[in-house]
Structure 1
Amino acid sequence: MTTSDYPRIRVRRVYDDREASDGTRVLVDRVWPRGVSKEHAHLDEWLKDVAPSTELRRWYGHDPERYDEFARRYREELKDDTRTEALDRLKDIAEKGTLTLLTASKRDDISQAAVLKKTLDSGRHG
């Protein structure tokens, strides 16, 4: 397996300690996470533009029963020009090596980062 053939995309919480295997760390939340200093976050980038709209985020409220509908609506939002540019930036990073999508969500498995990972994974050629 070579990383250029199969870029690795991970989803982690911004509150977790950085790991050597994280590669490029990108925060994909619109709002800066509470209680995290910029130094502790160890970010390479903060891509606010790829995050869901405030309206969608508030509607969702990380309710597991709303996740499928949230994911569907968010994928629609990702088609708008501003978010498409940010998504392309994530694709570029992932093609160069490991990309870790960071979120402050309590459950990263039902976060926008999880939707982004799935979107990026499905867009890969190979």
Structure 2
Amino acid sequence: MIRCKRVYDPQDAADGQRVLVDRLWPRNTRKDQLQALWLPQVAPSTALRQAFHQGEVDYAGFAERYRQELAAQPAHWWTLLGMAGQGDLTLLYAGKDTGHNNAMVLAQWLEDELERQGPGSSPVCYADEFKP
């Protein structure tokens, strides 16, 4: 199961593997406090993130462009797909909007990829390569 959760929400036993999917480290959060893997390369590009936050792109446009970025760089999200195929995965984000953020788009992307690949074809998890 893939969940999305704000980094400021308390950690829960049901979180499973926790991964921060923002390009920037969240304010006022120590790395040892978060207890999560950080994959900034899976976040939207800086230009797309800024356009969305400045209101130049609505959420639908942001989601579509972010999906295009994900499609162009499968190596960035392949590890997450492996994690999701092996157990619970929580995508962490710092934004205030709990319904319109990059983690939600990424979670749907990963769910769609898992469904497309079908049972028993999940990629191997290489999370250990990214552990601090």
Match among 57, 79, 98 for residue 89 of structure 1: 79
* Structure-to-structure mapping, 1:6-85, within 5 angstroms: 8-43=1-36, 45-61=37-53, 66-81=58-73, 84-85=74-75
SS in 1 for 2:44: coil
The CA distance in 1 between the partners of 2:67 and 2:54, in whole Å, is: 16
Aligned length: 115
Q: Distance in 2 between matches of 1:85 and 1:62?
A: 28
Question: Following TM superposition, by how much is the alpha carbon of 1:80 offset from its aligned partner in structure 2, in angstroms?
Answer: 2.5
Asked if 2 retains the 8 angstrom alpha-carbon contact of 1:93 and 1:99, the reply is: yes
Cα distance, 1:62 vs structure 2: 7.4
Superposition misfits of 4+ residues, deviation over 6 angstroms? none
Identity of aligned residues (%): 43
CA offset at residue 123 of structure 1?
1.4
Counterpart secondary structure, 1:79? helix
Q: Residue 32 of structure 1 aligns to which amino acid in structure 2?
A: W
Q: Which runs of 5+ in 2 are unaligned?
A: 120-132
Q: TM-score, normalised by structure 2?
A: 0.82
CA RMSD of aligned residues (A): 1.5
Gaps of 5+ in 1: 1-7
